[in-house]
Amino acid sequence: MRIEDPKIVAALPDLGVQLKPRTSLAELTSLGIGGATDLLSITRHDAIPDLLNLLDGQAIPHKFLGGGSNLLVGDGELPWVVLQLASPQPDIVLEGNFAQVDAAADLGRTVTFCAKNDLGGMEGLIGVPGTIGGALRMNAGAYGMQIGSYVREVKLYRAASRQMETLQGDQISFEYRHTSFAPDDMMLAVKLELPSKPYPEILKGIRICNEKRRASQPLGQKSAGCIFKNPPGASAGRMIDELGLKGLNVGDARVSDRHANFFVNSGKASAKDMLTLIAGVRERVEKSFGVILEYEVVVWNA
Ligand code: EPU
């Protein structure tokens, strides 16, 4: 979608918003799939309500993009514009055991920055691509930990009330790959409380998680991480593997040979290819195991 209304275009600089016309989302997502649309890069949180009023006034639909690492975007000209936070500098400020982190901060960099300052707890998240905001929204986790355990406060823009709000940790529920945030809430910043740990000890944990991840996941390939959530008490990857579906493909969309819950873009896969592959695998799992797998990947296909 193009933003062509001169009134909107003229108002953007004063709001600290940069218009990036016809941005390819294939280049902003770890799957390397997705069509094009206008992107609005936001440098000031306080400008968000005015920006959204402007867009709503012209009935321009929008979506919030984080790090694009858990996202499957549709093909072609996209029928909405994309809003993305630009990361301020510094994007992480430490005070005692608290880390105040901007939503646009890179997750891996946050884990290592905190580690170097003797703050641990998030070792399992090393190697998970994306931003702090994205990790927060879906309660990213791995190797027995989840980010929600460390969240004490979240600053967000609530589309429903059209206001910036600050929620305390106990006002938010964090479950397995799910939170109580509304789909159109925009994460802005988070305050984490992390346990003190000497850096060498954290580093040991980080190395162990890194090795496990490297051994079991296709890290060098374009993917969105796990496509499906694990059903209670089972592993989606193991079920897909047991059906012999590793390597199954639709065009360049392929079930990874290394981990069957990772679907990779091995070349020029389209969203249509990937969605067809996902639907096919889901159907096979349902037929054989009687389990309807739930998507973990977020799909923006309209
Ligand atoms: N397995 C297979 N074949 C496969 C994949 C896995 O037999 O192709 C078996 C493994 O051998 C193991 C079991 O299934 O016995 C579980 O596999 P793994 O340890 O890789 O964990 P997972 O349940 O597949 C979950 C998360 C990952 C996270 C890892 C490590 C989900 C959907 N997946 O994977 O998260 O990195 O544990 O904690 O919750 C993600 O969220 O995108 C993601 C990749």
Summarised one tens digit per residue, pLDDT across range 52-72 is 999 999 999 999 999 999 999
d(CA 272, CA 253): 9
Mean pLDDT, range 149-166, rounded to an integer? 95
Cα 8 to ligand 1 centroid, rounded to whole Å:
46
pLDDT of 66 reads: 96
Please tell me which residue in 109, 158, 177, 258 is annotated as part of the active site: 177
pLDDT of 159 reads: 87
User: pLDDT-based confidence at 105, cuts 50/70/90?
Assistant: very high
Q: Check: CB of residue 297 under 8 Å from CB of residue 222.
A: no
pLDDT of 11 reads: 97
| Ligand 1: residue whose CA is nearest its atom 24 | 237
Residues contacting ligand 1 via CB (< 6 Å): 142-143, 216, 225-226, 229-230, 235-238, 241, 259-261, 296
Start-end of H helices in 138-188: none
Is residue 302 pLDDT above 80, yes or no? no
Mean pLDDT of the chain: 97
Sheet order of strands, 81-85 included: 17-24, 36-42, 81-85, 62-65
Cα 281 to ligand 1 centroid, rounded to whole Å:
16
pLDDT of 51 reads: 96
Over pLDDT 90: what percentage of the chain? 97
Tens of pLDDT, residue by residue over 13-33, are 999 999 999 999 999 999 999
Residue 201 annotated to the active site: no
250: tokens are 């639709």
Cα 107 to ligand 1 centroid, rounded to whole Å:
20
User: pLDDT-based confidence at 7, cuts 50/70/90?
Assistant: very high
Q: Using the atom order of ligand 1, give the atom closest to the CA of residue 235.
A: 23
Pocket test for ligand 1, best of 235, 278, 293, 296 (most atoms within 8 A of CB): 235
Residue 296 annotated to the active site: yes
d(CA 37, CA 145): 36
152: tokens are 């004490």
Determine the 3-state secondary structure of 72 from DSSP. strand
d(CA 131, CA 128): 9
> What does the chain come to in residues?
302
d(CA 300, CA 302): 6
Q: Using the atom order of ligand 1, give the atom closest to the CA of residue 259.
A: 8
Residue 162 annotated to the active site: no
d(CA 105, CA 91): 6
Task: Give the CA radius of gyration of the chain.
Answer: 20
| Ligand 1: residue whose CA is nearest its atom 41 | 226
What ranges make up the beta strands (E) of the chain? 17-24, 36-42, 62-65, 71-73, 81-85, 92-95, 98-102, 141-142, 145-146, 151-158, 163-168, 174-175, 178-179, 186-193, 249-250, 253-255, 263-265, 298-300
Pocket test for ligand 1, best of 139, 211, 226 (most atoms within 8 A of CB): 226
Q: Using the atom order of ligand 1, give the atom closest to the CA of residue 240.
A: 8
Tens of pLDDT, residue by residue over 277-288, are 999 999 999 999
Is residue 289 pLDDT above 80, yes or no? yes
Q: Check: CB of residue 25 under 8 Å from CB of residue 34.
A: yes
Determine the 3-state secondary structure of 26 from DSSP. helix
Is residue 77 pLDDT above 80, yes or no? yes
Mean pLDDT, range 142-169, rounded to an integer? 96
Taking every pair of C-alpha atoms in the chain, what is the biggest distance, in angstroms?
57
Start-end of H helices in the chain: 6-11, 48-57, 107-116, 132-137, 199-216, 236-242, 271-289
